[in-house]
Structure 1
Amino acid sequence: MYQLKEKEMIFVFTGPDGSGRKTVADMVGSTLGINKVLSYTTRAKRPAETDGQDYHFISEDEFKRALANDEFIEAVEIDGVHYGIKDKDIEEMFRDNDFIYLILNAEGARMLKQRYGEKVTRLFIYVDRDIIIERQKELGVSDEVLDQHFKHYDEDMAYMPECKHAFENMDLAHTVFAVTNVLEQYMSRDLLEKD
């Protein structure tokens, strides 16, 4: 397992499906120049997704081989689909940056926090269930996908108190601004300590 150096830190974005956590995380990451570590998954690629940008899409056999070889630092199964983060990917991302971010569900976020403790800061992004429904319908999301989003909604919301920061994503620009300000404080803290 990769041992984080003194100044290195992991930001984990979590929250219910459909809350905009990925969009917020990617916009904040881009604004602050923070590298994203991608999860590996055995689920089928959705129409708007790109392999190597949203996830590493791999077969069930590939996932099982990597699991058997102890390549994953975090691996979960949700509704028969496997997701995992590889230790080597975390190490590689820290070569260029003292800060990285990941987008994980509650179980994955909890595992990473247990493993790295204070080096992990969890950011919970959420919106009310009715707003998710409204936004998803505007995007033309099918009822089947909506049902999938809400399968774990209550369970995901129950994780909020464990996270250091929570942001209600009512307005994307406002949320990105608020999250960016919080992360800048963590990032500049190291600069201040060096003076």
Structure 2
Amino acid sequence: MVILSAPSGAGKSSLAKALTADARFAVSVSHTTRAARPGEQDGVHYHFVDPAAFERLVAEGAFLEHAQVFGNRYGTTRAAVESLLREGRHVILDIDWQGARRIKALWPEALAIFILPPSLQALEARLRGRGQDDEAVIAQRMAQAQAEIAHAGEFDHIIVNDEFEEALADLKTLIAEGRRRRPLHYDPGLIAPTGA
């Protein structure tokens, strides 16, 4: 299992998507209460659910990890991860530092990698370049980025995503080395439901 975390705009989702060019890898599709963005498909990018449905899943203990980010809830279900592991796939979790902490508690052998932008200025330029957020949201994302970066030291490795292809090559190297050191196996006994 590979955990990728980063501030919004650092490129973790793009890196995760690039890894899935290798059919042995699959990104676990998270649930979220946020609205779908243009081009996003339910069940492909996220499972889009309303807050009541998300709360039901929390109450049922369906999530391995869940958190609130920018007013929206996100969570990874046990069923999604188990399904991919049963298929023999290497699971990629595209989650925040809070979720990474929870997953590492369940799977200490999971490889946790934090993706950094080359600078906060570059991150801000990327956020502006996406054209999906207004000034207030960009300011909020930048403040949150600094808080998230403060947790980078909790991860097994840090990659600076300055040049995408170099960052991807570094990521692939770390995963290959991690697989040799840490066999990625499915042990259903490690998966415990989480409440709040």
- The TM-score normalised by the length of structure 2 is 0.84
Choose from 21, 25, 42 the match for 1:34.
25
Q: Secondary structure at the match of 1:31?
A: coil
User: Cα offset for 1:117?
Assistant: 1.5
1:109 equivalent in structure 2: 100
Counterpart contact for 1:34–1:97, Cα < 8 Å: no
User: Cα offset for 1:30?
Assistant: 2.2
Q: Secondary structure at the match of 1:73?
A: strand
2:152 equivalent in structure 1: 160
**In structure 1, what is the Cα distance between the partners aligned to 2:107 and 2:31?**
20
Aligned-partner residue type, residue 114 of structure 2: F
Counterpart contact for 2:32–2:73, Cα < 8 Å: yes
Give aligned pairs, total.
Answer: 181
**In structure 2, what is the Cα distance between the partners aligned to 1:112 and 1:46?**
27
User: Cα offset for 1:190?
Assistant: 7.3
Counterpart contact for 1:123–1:164, Cα < 8 Å: yes
User: Cα offset for 1:32?
Assistant: 6.1
1:124 equivalent in structure 2: 114
Counterpart contact for 2:6–2:149, Cα < 8 Å: yes
User: Cα offset for 1:135?
Assistant: 2.4
**In structure 2, what is the Cα distance between the partners aligned to 1:53 and 1:168?**
27
Choose from 69, 80, 84 the match for 2:71.
80
Counterpart contact for 1:39–1:84, Cα < 8 Å: yes
Choose from 43, 46, 64 the match for 1:52.
43
Counterpart contact for 1:35–1:97, Cα < 8 Å: no
Choose from 10, 24, 27 the match for 1:19.
10
Choose from 52, 57, 78 the match for 1:66.
57
1:150 equivalent in structure 2: 142
2:173 is the alignment partner of 1:181: yes
**In structure 1, what is the Cα distance between the partners aligned to 2:44 and 2:84?**
14
1:93 equivalent in structure 2: 84
Instruction: Structure 2: give runs of 5+ residues left out of the alignment.
Output: 184-196
Counterpart contact for 1:72–1:86, Cα < 8 Å: yes
Instruction: Structure 1: give runs of 5+ residues left out of the alignment.
Output: 1-9
Q: Secondary structure at the match of 2:21?
A: helix
Summarize the Cα distance change of 1:32–1:173 in structure 2 as closer, same or farther, 3 Å threshold. Answer: farther
Summarize the Cα distance change of 1:85–1:139 in structure 2 as closer, same or farther, 3 Å threshold. Answer: closer
- The TM-score normalised by the length of structure 1 is 0.85
User: Cα offset for 1:189?
Assistant: 5.3
User: Cα offset for 1:111?
Assistant: 0.8
Identity of aligned residues (%): 24
